[in-house]
Amino acid sequence: MQLWKKIQKIKTSKLTKILGSENSQNENLEQNSSKVDEQTVILNYSTDDLKNELKQNEDPKKDASQMGNLKTEAKQTEEQKKDDNQMENLKAETKQTVNQVKETIKNTDLKKDAKAAKGFFSSFFQNPLKEIEKCASDNKSSFLKVAIVLLLIWIVAIFIGKVASLASIYLFGTYGSFSSFFRHIFSNLFDIFKALIAPIISLAVLSGLSYGFSKSKSKSFINTVSTIVISHIPVIIANIVNLLIIFSSGILKITNCFSSFCSILSTVLLYFAVKYLSGESEDKYYFWKFALIMGIFYIIKFVFSYLEIYL
């Protein structure tokens, strides 16, 4: 009996050892499996994050906005380059214009130029539109001297008219005297100056608008100015005729009507001058272009009237 009990104890102790080892192995397996599950979760989480980041980076809206920003920057750069080129061209054109005027004044031959002017004026009064077309198509600035002479005559006529107007009041008036006349000449000097620069500003504005709206940029600015000046020949003649007021104030009504008539003629000549300069062949398009040019001119004229400069 005692021997049997000892054998039973040995068997139970061995069984408990085996069961304990199996339990410890199961616990180790459970711990390892939990670690594997944690690593799998971490791996899944990091994979999801990576996918989200890739999706964000591959967002078509963001790519489109970036491409749009790049395009706008490129356009701005191109526009800036165009503006810089236009400014450089304008500076070069201005320098060329000044140099041409200087050379023309230096190389003036009065006898030769007087003959050329006579021939031009006789041709102009016979067929003014043909002469304006010649001037507009000229690329050698052949009409520059004629334009300078016409502008000088216009300015001198305005100056004489202003001085004569003051003289009729402060020199030849009832209480006129030389001291009073010269005193008022100096006090009105700024007004005289504004009257003298008015035709220059007017021609510059019209020439600039015509040059800006021109289809063909092959024509020089000097050529444009010369053509615009020649189209104002009737207005220049009207300013010369207005000097008759010096001899008789009763002729004022006649000179006013004549000035209005000459102004209409100049507008007609200006219409064709700008047409020849712009290179516009179809009248239906050119008419509205000319209307736009004159509309802008009259807006500028209205602005200058506040400075008491009447274009």
The tens digit of pLDDT for each residue in 15-28 reads 444 444 444 444 44
Residue with tokens 């189209």: 231
Q: pLDDT at position 20, please?
A: 47
- What are the start-end ranges of the H helices in 58-109? 60-106
* Alpha carbons 89 and 229: distance in angstroms, whole number: 23
77-81, 121-125, 176-180, 288-292: segment of lowest average pLDDT: 77-81
Tokens matching residue 85? 């080129």
For residues 289, 276, 223, 263, the Cα torsion angle rounded to the nearest 10 degrees is -70
Which residues, 6 or more positions from 137, have their beta carbon under 8 angstroms from its beta carbon? 276
Which residues, 6 or more positions from 259, have their beta carbon under 8 angstroms from its beta carbon? 235, 238, 241, 242
* Stated length of the chain: 311
State whether residue 109 is helix, strand or coil. coil
pLDDT tens for each residue of 275-285: 999 887 777 78
Q: Is the pLDDT of residue 68 over 50?
A: yes
Q: pLDDT at position 86, please?
A: 56
Q: Is the pLDDT of residue 99 over 70?
A: no
3-7, 195-199, 275-279: segment of lowest average pLDDT: 3-7
